Amino acid sequence: MSTRACGRAVDEMRVVTITSNYTRHAEGSVLVEFGHTKVLCTASVVKGVPRFLRGKGQGWVTAEYGMLPRSTHSRMNREAASGKQGGRTMEIQRLIGRSLRAAMDLNKLGEYTIVVDCDVIQADGGTRTAAITGACVALAQALAWMKAKGMITTDPMKTLVAAISVGMVDGQAVSDLEYTEDSAAETDMNVVMTAEGNMIEVQGTAEGAPFTHEQLLAMLALARKSIDELVVHQRKAIASVE
């Protein structure tokens, strides 16, 4: 199997670390690292649900995403200062929220909202997929906290979800793109899967040339392999705090 400029094999992820209880106050708190990409994921349990769900006896899970201004190579403007969240931010936090809800049976949550904040401390490609992977662990920890408090009796989480970015770089399908690869990729694809390998989200974008059916299949196969590895990391992180 040919290697890439970064020295990794095409199906080789960067070093993945999931650190539990990274901060003190949140009900779930995880620092997830995919190589140099570092995202802090905190899960906050809040009484009540959004207006459109009131009185239905079910819960809600939502996500917010942000980047620290100097998480990136050159400084980005702070969204709080510019007065609105950009389109990319909104797109990513909607994706994280949908992915987490796909892992949940919201009827078992009761009228609680869990807000998962994903804040990028350092960016080097793949922040949204690292965020989903870490957010799922933070969510699991918050659910364990709720169970310990007697707020829920059965586990609302049906499965784990994890995510990986794959793409076409220099004509070959590769997994877990770091920043320099991401910038040069012909195609960039984010895949969210369950622990069982079923798909929650597939978002492939041709940045340069369009991609073919065969390339799509090659990228999906890499995604499946990496997500299997990520689920192992997730399980270890969840077990570590029980």
- Across the beta sheet with 28-34, the strand order is 16-20, 28-34, 37-47, 112-122, 60-67
How far apart, in whole angstroms, are the C-alpha atoms of residue 123 and residue 216? 26
Which residue, 36 or 54, has its beta carbon nearer to a second copy? 36
Which residue, 44 or 172, has its beta carbon nearer to a second copy? 44
The pair of structure tokens assigned to 58 is: 């079910």
The least CB distance from residue 124 to a second copy, in Å, is: 8
34, amino acid identity: F
What phi and psi, each to the nearest 5 degrees, are found at residue 168? -105, 115
How far apart, in whole angstroms, are the C-alpha atoms of residue 155 and residue 109? 8
Which residue, 220 or 239, has its beta carbon nearer to a second copy? 220
| 154 known member of a binding site | no
**Secondary element (H or E) of residue 6:** none
| 101 known member of a binding site | no
Tally Cβ neighbours within 10 Å of residue 1. 7
The least CB distance from residue 154 to a second copy, in Å, is: 19
| 204 known member of a binding site | no
| 51 known member of a binding site | no
Tally Cβ neighbours within 10 Å of residue 84. 9
The least CB distance from residue 95 to a second copy, in Å, is: 9
- Binding site residues, a second copy, CB under 8 A: 23-26, 29, 36, 38, 40, 42, 44, 46, 64, 66, 68-75, 78-81, 83-91, 93-94, 98, 102, 115, 117, 119, 121-123, 189, 193-194, 196, 198-206, 209-213, 216, 220
The least CB distance from residue 83 to a second copy, in Å, is: 5
Binding-site annotation: residue ranges for phosphate: 88, 126-128
